[in-house]
Structure 1
């Protein structure tokens, strides 16, 4: 019974652990989805606000149109710089410092945007005209700082891309050169080098055979036994003439020479 109780307790603990893990995973997934939705909704809301500011800067004349143009330029500079830094951050970790500076700039830009919104609702045109130069100067300072970060990040990424392209081109040239140097096929039999003892011996034998007499090359030097006709010097006469001469009687008699 005690063993059964231990098994039941372990199964219960295992089930509770699975339940807790499922709950934690569900909560994390819900938070991730909510953050993604909030981010997309914030981007959509900002895009709508930018479109409205652009329409105001074009449609409204006077100070109201200039205020809308300042707000739009401020947002555009910060948004463009943020996109460049975030896109290059996975490849270059040093852009994280620039992104932190941009976050601080974004805080000042938010305060300035709030002041510009208040100035849009200001009924007194004289106060608007008095405050607008100061606000414009602050907008220019923030936008210039954001543009400097964006331009520096773009130059840095372009320099890294150029260096990588140059290194890749060098590696491709080295590989192409290596591919052109193939190993030739080995010959079937090695020929003796020119001027070796083998060739000199062959040439000496050929010269010696050329200097031997013709009859030795033809008969005696050929490795076969010489016939009786060759030994008597009669090999050049036909056998028929030799037989006729032997049959003719000697008129001086057998004892005469």
Structure 2
């Protein structure tokens, strides 16, 4: 009887432990989901605000908003292009490094966006614009190379597939490869 009670107690403790572990994992997953959703919402709001500032703010502040939008668009587009091909790990690593530079520049631009001294902002803008264009061009270059690679692989695969289909079609029509019977001169 004591052994049965001990087994029931161990089973009860095991189920309670499993329940606690499952609950903790569920809560952590929910927190990650909420954090991810709130980050995406925050990013969407920032992008909308940047688009509005680009059109409503004139001068250097409007140019800063445009630089931030261009930077974000190039980085996001390149990440989306690279995520579809798992064999591009080296390119993805380079893109992660480039993204670090883009984030740094984006933070600088965000601080300068609210700079009250327009003359200082105008003086800093050429250097910031050059950095943004270098990052944007690098991201574009990676994205275009990934797109060209995907296009080339698709084209090569389609060519090979077409060749295989031609061979199979010829094999299925094996009777056509025999010479056609000649008509006798009297039948003409």
Instruction: Give the match for residue 129 of structure 2.
Output: 136
2:106 counterpart of 1:109: no
Instruction: Give the match for residue 31 of structure 2.
Output: 34
Specify the SS of the correspondent of 1:71. Answer: helix
Residues 1:32 and 1:180: Cα distance change in structure 2 (over 3 Å): farther
- 1:45 CA displacement: 1.8
The Cα RMSD (Å) is 2.0
Measured against aligned partners, the alpha-carbon deviations of 1:15-56 in whole angstroms (never above 9, x if no partner) come to 322332233233223323332332232222212211211111
Instruction: Give the match for residue 43 of structure 2.
Output: 46
Which range moves more in the overlay, 25-34 or 141-150? 25-34
2:7 counterpart of 1:10: yes
Pairing 1:168-187 to 2, within 5 Å after superposition = 168-181=161-174
TM-score computed with the length of structure 1 as normaliser: 0.62
Counterpart among 133, 147, 155 of residue 154 in structure 1: 147
Give the whole-Å Cα distance in 2 for the aligned partners of 1:66 and 1:127. Answer: 14
TM-score computed with the length of structure 2 as normaliser: 0.82
Give the whole-Å Cα distance in 1 for the aligned partners of 2:13 and 2:172. Answer: 63
Give the greater-gyration-radius structure (CA): 1
Instruction: Give the match for residue 184 of structure 2.
Output: none
- Structure 2 unmatched ranges of 5 or more: 176-188
Which range moves more in the overlay, 18-27 or 155-164? 18-27
Instruction: Give the match for residue 78 of structure 1.
Output: 75
More helix by share: 2
- 1:78 CA displacement: 0.8
Q: Which has the higher relative contact order, 1 or 2, with Cα contacts under 8 A spaced 6 or more apart?
A: 2
- 1:138 CA displacement: 0.6
Residues 1:97 and 1:37: Cα distance change in structure 2 (over 3 Å): farther
Instruction: Give the match for residue 234 of structure 1.
Output: none
Instruction: Give the match for residue 164 of structure 1.
Output: 157
